[in-house]
C-alpha cells in the first residue's frame, strides 16, 4: 500500500450475498488499512460475465461511490480480468477484489524469507493475467491496494519478465522446501508425535500454542498474524509432542496462496493429529461457515483423513447462553480459553489419550553400556517402569509403533495380544 493508508475509502460490493456477509471483507480491508464507507449488494443467480454487477446496480455503485467520496471499490469475490477492466472503465476509480486484499495482507505480515517468497509468487501469479502495462505495474506488489501500472506498452515484455520471475521464485522455494524437509526429517528422527493447530484466521491458535507450551510466541488480534509455522515442545504426562501453529484459513482462500504455501501447509498434512481451533465467540452462522471453510482447505491440501480434535477457543468471552450454544451438537468438542486457561488441562489429556491408544507395550532389557538409549526411551515413553538387574536395565513402556521397532533388539518378550497393556 501507499504511505497514506487512511486516505483509502472503500465501498464494498457483492452479488448473491446479504449485507452482513460482507462483514468479513470489511474486516480484511480494515486489516489492510482501508476505511469502509459503504456497501452494495445485488441478488443475482450468477454474476454478470462482463461487469459482475448488472447495468442498473453498476450505475448505483458508481453513484454511491461518488456520494461517499470513495476512491476504491472492493468486491467480495475474485473478479475475472475482464470484469475488473469493465468495472474500472465504468466507475473511473480503482477496483480490487477479495483475493487482492488477502494478498496485500499476506505481503504486509510475511516475516521470514520463505514467507516473502511465497507471497510474491502468489501475487505474481494473480497479477499475470491482469497485466495491462509496463513492468512497473508490478510496483503494485509493494504499493497500495488498487494501485495500477501506467499504460499498455510492451505488455509481452512485461509478461515475459513476470514469468521469468515466477520461475525463479519457484526454484528458490523448492530449495527452501528442501531445507525444511531436512529439518522435518531431523524432527521425525526423534519419533515425537506431531500435532498441528489449524483453524480460521484469528481463532486464537498462536495464543493457544503459547498457553499450552509456555513458550514465548508472538500473538495479535488481527487477521493472518501468523504466516510462518511455529513449532514448540508440548509435554503431557512425561511424554513429549511437537505442537505446530499454522497459517490461518479463511473463506474463499485464494488458490494462489494454497499453491504458494504448499511447503508450509505440508506441516498440517503430515501431522498425526490436527487440533481444529474455533472461535467460539463468533455468531452461530459465522461459526459454522468458518468451520466448513477450514474443513474444505484441509481436504484441498490432503489432510482430510488426519484425526481431529475440536477446540472451541475464547471461552472467557462467553456468557451462559453462548456456552450452551457452543456445546449444541458438538459433544466431542472441548471448550477452552488460551486467556483464562479453562479447559487446557483437559485438552492436554485428550491429546495424550489420542496417542496412548496407538502405543505399543514393550518389555526391554537395555545393557548398561547403552545408557543413551534409556534417555531416549524416557523422551518417547514419558513414564516407564524400570528395574536394575545384573544383565542391564529392564524396562516396561508404551512406545509409538515406529519407535518400538527401533528397540526390537532389546525385547525380552513379545507385546501382548491386545496391544494396549499399561506398563
Superfamily of segment(s) 5-105: GTPase HflX, N-terminal domain (3.40.50.11060)
Least confident window among 290-304, 369-383, 407-421 = 407-421
Q: Which residues pair with 103 in a beta bridge?
A: none
Give pLDDT, residue 20. Answer: 64
349 pLDDT band (50/70/90 cuts)? very high
Decide if pLDDT at 348 tops 90. yes
Query: Which residue's C-alpha cell is 497485466?
Result: 131
What per-residue confidence (pLDDT) applies to 143? 47
For the domain made up of 359-413, give the CATH fold: Alpha-Beta Plaits (3.30.70)
Compute the average pLDDT of residues 132-140. 45
Give tens-digit pLDDT for 61-88.
999 999 999 999 999 999 999 999 999 9
Task: Name the most confidently modeled range: 127-141, 154-168, 194-208, 246-260.
Answer: 194-208
Confidence grade of residue 24 (pLDDT, cut at 50, 70, 90): confident
Where does the chain hold its CATH 3.40.50.11060 domain(s)? 5-105
User: What residue spans in the chain does CATH classification 3.40.50.300 cover?
Assistant: 191-355
pLDDT of 40 higher than 70: yes
pLDDT for res 184: 61
Could you tell me which residue, 416 or 18, shows the higher pLDDT? 18
Q: What is the pLDDT at residue 147?
A: 47
pLDDT of residue 227 exceeding 70, the answer is no
What does pLDDT average to over the chain?
81
Mean pLDDT of 105-116: 78
Residue of 405, 394, 399, 389 lying closest to 421 (CA atoms): 399
d(CA 18, CA 43): 8
pLDDT in tens, 363-408: 888 888 887 888 778 777 767 788 889 888 898 888 776 677 778 8
**Contacts for 388 with CB less than 8 Å, ≥ 6 apart:** 394
- Highest mean pLDDT, choosing among 80-84, 109-113, 122-126, 141-145: 80-84
More confident residue, 214 or 257: 214
Q: Please report which confidence band the pLDDT of residue 173 belongs to, taking 50, 70 and 90 as the band edges.
A: confident
Q: 224 pLDDT band (50/70/90 cuts)? A: low
pLDDT score of 21 more than 80 = no
pTM for this prediction:
0.71
With a cut of 60, say whether residue 220 has pLDDT above it.
no
Asked if the model's pLDDT at residue 198 lies above 80, the reply is yes
In which band, very low, low, confident or very high, does the pLDDT at 260 lie, cut at 50, 70 and 90?
A: low
* 134-138, 165-169, 322-326, 412-416: least confidently modelled range: 134-138
pLDDT at residue 129 above 90? no
Q: Are strands 239-245 and 194-199 parallel, antiparallel or unpaired?
A: parallel
Residue 341 has pLDDT above 90, yes or no: yes
Higher per-residue pLDDT: 267 or 24: 24
Give me the percent of the chain exceeding a pLDDT of 70. Answer: 81
What is the predicted pLDDT for the residue at 263? 61
Per-residue pLDDT at 2: 42
Whole-number Å distance between alpha carbons of 261 and 48: 31
Cα-only R_g, the chain? 26
Nearest Cα residue to 309 out of 241, 233, 263:
241
The domain at 191-355 falls in which architecture? 3-Layer(aba) Sandwich (3.40)
Which of 289, 413, 308 is closest to 362 using CA atoms?
Answer: 413
Is residue 283 pLDDT above 80, yes or no? yes
Total Cβ atoms within 10 A of residue 353: 12
Cell of 41: 449488494
Note the pLDDT of residue 355: 84
* Res 413: pLDDT: 59
Share of the chain above pLDDT 90, in %: 31
Can you give the pLDDT at residue 5? 42
Amino acid at each position: 500500500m501507499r504511505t497514506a493508508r487512511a486516505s483509502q475509502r472503500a465501498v464494498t460490493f457483492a452479488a448473491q450475498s446479504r449485507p452482513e456477509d460482507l462483514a468479513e471483507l470489511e474486516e480484511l480491508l480494515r486489516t489492510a488499512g482501508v476505511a469502509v464507507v459503504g456497501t452494495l449488494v445485488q441478488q443475482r443467480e450468477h454474476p454478470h460475465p462482463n461487469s459482475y454487477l448488472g447495468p442498473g446496480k453498476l450505475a448505483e455503485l458508481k453513484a454511491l461511490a461518488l456520494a461517499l467520496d470513495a476512491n476504491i471499490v472492493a468486491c467480495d469475490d475474485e473478479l475475472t480480468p475482464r470484469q475488473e477492466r469493465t468495472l474500472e472503465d465504468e466507475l473511473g476509480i480503482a477496483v480490487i477484489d477479495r483475493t487482492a486484499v488477502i494478498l496485500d495482507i499476506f505481503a504486509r505480515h510475511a516475516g521470514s524469507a520463505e514467507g516473502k517468497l511465497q507471497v510474491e509468487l502468489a501475487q505474481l501469479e494473480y497479477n499475470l493475467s491482469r497485466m495491462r502495462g509496463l513492468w512497473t505495474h508490478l510496483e503494485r506488489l509493494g504499493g497500495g491496494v488498487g494501485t495500477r501500472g501506467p499504460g499498455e506498452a510492451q505488455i509481452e515484455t512485461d509478461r515475459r519478465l513476470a514469468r521469468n520471475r515466477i520461475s525463479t521464485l519457484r526454484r528458490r522455494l523448492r530449495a527452501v522446501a528442501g531445507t525444511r524437509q531436512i529439518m522435518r526429517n531431523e524432527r521425525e528422527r526423534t519419533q515425537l508425535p506431531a500435532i498441528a493447530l489449524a483453524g480460521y484466521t484469528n481463532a486464537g491458535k498462536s495464543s493457544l500454542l503459547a498457553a499450552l507450551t509456555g513458550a514465548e510466541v508472538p500473538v495479535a488480534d488481527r487477521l493472518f498474524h501468523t504466516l510462518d509455522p511455529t513449532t514448540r515442545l508440548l509435554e503431557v504426562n512425561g511424554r513429549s509432542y511437537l505442537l505446530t501453529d499454522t497459517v490461518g484459513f479463511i473463506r474463499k482462500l485464494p488458490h494462489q496462496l494454497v499453491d504458494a504455501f504448499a511447503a508450509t501447509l505440508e506441516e498440517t498434512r503430515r501431522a498425526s493429529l490436527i487440533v481444529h481451533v474455533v472461535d467460539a465467540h463468533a455468531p452461530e452462522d459465522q461459526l459454522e461457515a468458518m468451520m466448513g471453510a477450514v474443513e474444505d482447505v484441509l481436504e484441498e491440501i490432503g489432510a482430510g483423513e488426519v484425526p481431529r480434535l475440536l477446540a472451541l477457543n475464547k471461552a472467557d468471552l462467553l456468557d451462559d447462553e453462548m456456552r450452551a450454544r457452543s456445546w449444541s451438537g458438538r459433544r466431542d468438542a472441548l471448550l477452552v480459553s488460551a486467556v483464562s486457561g479453562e479447559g487446557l488441562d483437559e485438552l492436554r489429556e485428550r491429546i495424550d489419550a489420542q496417542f496412548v491408544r496407538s502405543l505399543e507395550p514393550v518389555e526391554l532389557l537395555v545393557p548398561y553400556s547403552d545408557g543413551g538409549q534409556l534417555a531416549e526411551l524416557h523422551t518417547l515413553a514419558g513414564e516407564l517402569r524400570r528395574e536394575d538387574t545384573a544383565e542391564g536395565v529392564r524396562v516396561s513402556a508404551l512406545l509409538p509403533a515406529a519407535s518400538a521397532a527401533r528397540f526390537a533388539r532389546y525385547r525380552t518378550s513379545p507385546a501382548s495380544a491386545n496391544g494396549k497393556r499399561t506398563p
